[in-house]
Amino acid sequence: MRVFLQAIIYFTLFTFHNAFSSSQTQWTKISPNFISAETVNINSQGDIFVGTFFDGIYRSTDDGSSWVQVYSDNGQKPISKLAVNHQDQLFLGTKDFGVWTSIDNGFNWVQTPCNLAEVSDIEINSEDDIFAANIDNGGGIYRSTDNGNSWDFIRPDTTVQYITTIFITGNNEIYCGTIGSPQ
């Protein structure tokens, strides 16, 4: 698990155009040349999902030896983040079209009623509560406690603007990164 987390950090912080795996200090390319890979996540079965900015979502069921495009919208919904809950339900944050969910490994997607134009991050805590960060209209975080069927707006602080990233600890403490200055 530690090696996989290192790969996620390497992959998402630098947004390389390929997926890599790591065995301590040696990196090995495990993907085709994705077009602007934005996010990577893994479900409980070990399936790897890669969300791209303009080329949809790819899935590997064999540790990255082969990839299948499970979702394509022809670049209409730029992807910002993928998250997976404990039931292997996928949640997709987009740059312009809110939060979407899939219960069939990414082959079909349904938009949730989360009224966000630009989702910058999605994280799920140990209780399967979903948190979506927003950098549009002053920012903030939306929370769903029912698998995305309804959402509540929570704002960490009235001076916080444009939340770009969320991190949730094992104790369900939430940390968020922002851009912009407090007012």
Span 5-61, pLDDT tens digits: 334 433 333 333 344 555 556 666 666 666 677 888 999 999 999 888 778 888 999
Residue range 67-102, pLDDT digits in tens: 888 888 766 778 889 999 999 999 998 887 889 999
User: What pLDDT, on a 0 to 100 scale, did the predictor assign at position 18?
Assistant: 47
User: CA 15, CA 125: separation in Å to the nearest integer?
Assistant: 24
Q: Helix or strand or coil: residue 142?
A: strand
Range of the domain at 141: 120-183
Q: Is residue 72 part of a domain?
A: no
Identify whether the C-beta of residue 94 lies closer than 8 Å to the C-beta of residue 56: no
Number of domains in the chain: 1
DSSP letter (8 states) at residue 155: -
Q: Is residue 50 part of a domain?
A: no
User: CA 88, CA 86: separation in Å to the nearest integer?
Assistant: 5
Q: Is residue 32 part of a domain?
A: no
Overall pTM > 0.85: no
Q: Is residue 182 part of a domain?
A: yes
Q: Is residue 21 part of a domain?
A: no
Q: Is residue 49 part of a domain?
A: no
Q: Is residue 164 part of a domain?
A: yes
